[in-house]
Structure 1
Amino acid sequence: MKAYLFPGQGSQFMGMGKNLYKNSDDAKKLFRLADDVLGFGITSIMFEGSINILKKTKNTQLAIYIYSVIKAKISKNFNPDMVAGHSLGEFSALAAIDVFSFEDGLILVNKRASMMQKICESIHGGMAVIFGLEDSIIEDICKKDKGIIVPSNYNSPEQLVISGEYTALKRVCFSLKKIGAKRIFILPVHGAFHSPIMEPAQKKLKKFIQKFFFKDSKCPIYQNVTAQSFTKSNDIKKNIVEQLTSPVKWKQSIKNMIDHGAISFTEIGPGNILQGLMKKISKNFTKKI
């Protein structure tokens, strides 16, 4: 069985999508449609914008969604038996398998990103990658801290991301280093994604998303919140709302996909972050589109 994976924030790069636009008439139509639906030149930011403009949450999420979905739509080989998306990548995966339209996905991602950006600007949050400690140890240190700090991305057996208030993040990182973390890397983001800090955005998205029609999925999607597979539209909609404040259970999702018959994994989107994680989780990764 063939599985397809869609990346989230962090996989963007300057000039992303420019070659797709030049070399495919179908891609060109979708890029132009994205500008029309959004009412501004997201393609100009993708093709010509500086990295500082592109890395703003409100631009990054749209750029990755657009790039990933277009890659899937123009690919002759995209015929998945199952899919998964890392954080934002869930929206890309759902549009690629027609749970909602490309246009509706643009509106949803734009709303999600804008709400998250506002929280990033009002609350000093952060995220850090922890290498070389067991999940239970990191979880325990986070629980003991007096601030808002939680595990946010279970990326691989060797890597767990934590997220929360910046002061709490610094305290927990110091404690984890003292007890033997091999490496700690504070991510260049200003938001505490997948943490309770995102609760105001979650509440707004829950209300906003009710306006949109979701179809049942034609293949299972393994969603971040539980790492289990879903096909029913109501379940899928509920899970992508809950995802905003819940950890991304990525390594658990991949394990479940393998247990349920996946023998090859293909990443669709910019960058190669998921390829790197896949090498730590399984040897089944085959290629990149």
Structure 2
Amino acid sequence: MKAYIFPGQGAQFSGMGLDIFEKYPDAQDLFLKANDILGFNITDVMFEGTAEDLKETKVTQPAIFIHSIALKSVMTDFEPAMVAGHSLGEFSALVASGALSFEDGLKLVSQRAQAMQKACETQPSTMAAVLGLEDAVVEEVCEQTPGVVVAANYNCPGQLVISGEIEAINKACETMKEKGARRALVLPVGGAFHSPMMEPAREELAAAIEATKFTKPICPIYQNVTASAITDASQIQANLIAQLTAPVRWTQTIQQMIADGGTEFIEVGPGKVLQGLMRKINRDVAASSAILPQ
């Protein structure tokens, strides 16, 4: 069974999408439509911008989403038995599986990016990667550390990202090292994504998601919040709202997809981040990048 997975923030690169834009007229329309919806030429930043330009949240999230959907739009063999997306990638997965239109997906991604940016500016916060510790140990340290600090991204066994207040994150990192973590490293991110500190953004985005039309997808989507197969449109909406303050259960998602019959995983979007995580979750399952048709 083919499973299609869609990357999130961090997969961007300078020049992303230019090859698709130049080669495929149908995809060109999609890129130009994106410029109109966003009210600025994001294609200029994607095709010619520096890595620094692409790091701006209001650019990064829509850029990755647009690249993923443009790539999916030109694939001739897109026949998913199941889909999933990492954080932001969940929006790409929803559009690819027909639960959401491209236009609505892009508007929500843009609103999400801006709401997250605003939440970050209101209260300084951060994230840190913890390598080489069991999930349970990381969770225990988070619980015992004063202040706001939670497990945010279960990326693969032995790689968990924590999220919260700066002081609490620094203290938790010290404790993680004492507990034997190979690394506990503060990340260069704008704020504490997938933590209670994103509550203002969640509230803002909830209204937009509730006002958007969702339909039943053509295949199950394994959502970050539940790590299980969902096809009900109202449940998809509720999980998408919860996603901003809840952890990304990526390890559990991939394990469940494999348990449910996923045998071939294809990453649709920029980079190969998810393929790297796949190898650490289960190296016996095939994982590859989506290929542009000749």
Q: Report Cα offsets for 1:154-195 as digits up to 9, x if no partner.
A: 111121110011111111001111110012232211210000
1:146 aligns with 146
Give the Cα separation in 2 of the matches to 1:279 and 1:127: 24
Structure 1 position 240, deviation (Å): 0.7
TM-score normalised per structure 1: 0.98
* 2:193 and 2:245 in contact (8 A); partners too: yes
Q: Which amino acid is 2:288 matched to?
A: K
Q: Alignment RMSD, CA only?
A: 0.9
1:170 aligns with 170
Residue 188 of structure 1 aligns to a residue whose secondary structure is: coil
- The share of aligned pairs that are identical, in percent, is 51
Which region of structure 1 is more displaced relative to structure 2, 182-191 or 235-244?
182-191
Structure 1 position 229, deviation (Å): 0.7
2:247 aligns with 247
1:211 aligns with 211
Q: Report Cα offsets for 1:116-155 as digits up to 9, x if no partner.
A: 0111222211111111111111111111111110000111
Which region of structure 1 is more displaced relative to structure 2, 178-187 or 8-17?
178-187
Give the Cα separation in 2 of the matches to 1:180 and 1:210: 44
* 2:135 and 2:158 in contact (8 A); partners too: no
Structure 1 position 41, deviation (Å): 0.7
Q: Report Cα offsets for 1:27-63 as digits up to 9, x if no partner.
A: 1110001001111111111111222221111110000
Q: Report Cα offsets for 1:54-82 as digits up to 9, x if no partner.
A: 11111100000000011111101111000
Unmatched runs of 5 consecutive residues or more in structure 2: none
1:65 aligns with 65
Q: Which amino acid is 1:3 matched to?
A: A
How many aligned residue pairs are there? 289
Give the Cα separation in 1 of the matches to 2:27 and 2:122: 37
1:45 aligns with 45
Q: Which amino acid is 1:72 matched to?
A: K
2:56 aligns with 56
Structure 1 position 20, deviation (Å): 1.1
> Is 1:288 aligned to residue 278 of structure 2?
no
Residue 58 of structure 2 aligns to a residue whose secondary structure is: helix
Q: Which amino acid is 1:61 matched to?
A: Q
Q: Which amino acid is 1:18 matched to?
A: L
Which region of structure 1 is more displaced relative to structure 2, 192-201 or 209-218?
209-218
Q: Report Cα offsets for 1:203-225 as digits up to 9, x if no partner.
A: 11111212211101110000000
Structure 1 position 242, deviation (Å): 0.2
1:270 aligns with 270
Unmatched runs of 5 consecutive residues or more in structure 1: none
Give the Cα separation in 1 of the matches to 2:279 and 2:136: 22
* 1:173 and 1:184 in contact (8 A); partners too: yes
1:102 aligns with 102
Which region of structure 1 is more displaced relative to structure 2, 45-54 or 188-197?
45-54
2:23 aligns with 23
Give the Cα separation in 1 of the matches to 2:145 and 2:97: 41
Q: Which amino acid is 1:197 matched to?
A: M
Residue 181 of structure 1 aligns to a residue whose secondary structure is: coil
Give the Cα separation in 1 of the matches to 2:54 and 2:286: 29
Structure 1 position 285, deviation (Å): 2.8
Q: Which amino acid is 2:117 matched to?
A: Q
Residue 106 of structure 1 aligns to a residue whose secondary structure is: helix
- Which 4+ residue blocks in structure 1 deviate beyond 4 angstroms? none
